[in-house]
């Protein structure tokens, strides 16, 4: 804001707000997509290599074919029982889902770190000095 003239500060402030909101929305969308993708992949692979019976694996695979809904891990056993699974299979499915949630959170945090580090590269062009306008109209540059 200090690098624009006094008459342009309102426009610069508006643009700054727009880009802050855009960056926040885009970041949330990227991390959310990464989280859901990692959860779907991790849960599907966890079910595929589990000790669940083939019928149960096929049922879960068909139910999650179009993605996994984020639900509290404590509710998964009840959802499995409501779908006709035994208590043992429902408990194992809940454990797989819980581990998948933790794994997808780890992947999302790593993704967040990578995106943050990349954003530092794009911020290299931000001016390091301040431009101060004196009353006589001359610009004076100062290092921040």
pLDDT in tens, 112-138: 999 889 888 888 877 766 666 666 655
Q: What pLDDT, in 10s, does the model give residues 35-52?
A: 999 999 899 899 989 988
State the pLDDT at residue 141: 57
User: Does residue 53 surpass a pLDDT of 70?
Assistant: yes
Contact by Cβ (8 Å): 111, 32: no
State the pLDDT at residue 134: 63
d(CA 3, CA 128): 10
Between 2 and 125, the more confident residue is 125
Q: Could you tell me the residue range of the domain that residue 87 belongs to?
A: 6-143
d(CA 111, CA 34): 8
Q: Of all helices (H) and strands (E), which one includes residue 130?
A: strand 129-133
Q: What pLDDT, in 10s, does the model give residues 80-100?
A: 888 888 899 999 999 999 999
In a domain, 138, yes or no: yes
User: Does residue 13 surpass a pLDDT of 80?
Assistant: yes
In a domain, 1, yes or no: no
Vertex 65: Cα angle to 64 and 71 (nearest 5): 25
- Domain count within the chain: 1
């Amino acid at each position: 804001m200090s690098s624009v003239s006094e008459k342009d500060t309102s426009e610069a402030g508006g643009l700054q707000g727009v880009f802050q909101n855009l960056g926040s929305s885009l970041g949330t969308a990227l991390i959310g997509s990464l989280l859901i993708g990692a959860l779907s992949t991790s849960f599907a692979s966890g079910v595929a290599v589990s000790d669940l019976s083939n019928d149960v694996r096929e049922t879960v695979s068909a139910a999650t074919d179009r993605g996994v809904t984020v639900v509290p891990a404590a509710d998964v056993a009840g959802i499995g029982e409501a779908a006709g699974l035994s208590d043992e299979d429902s408990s194992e499915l809940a454990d797989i889902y819980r581990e998948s949630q933790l794994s997808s959170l780890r992947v999302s945090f790593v993704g967040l770190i990578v995106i943050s580090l990349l954003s530092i590269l794009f911020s290299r062009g931000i001016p390091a000095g301040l431009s101060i306008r004196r009353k006589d109209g001359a610009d004076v540059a100062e290092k921040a």
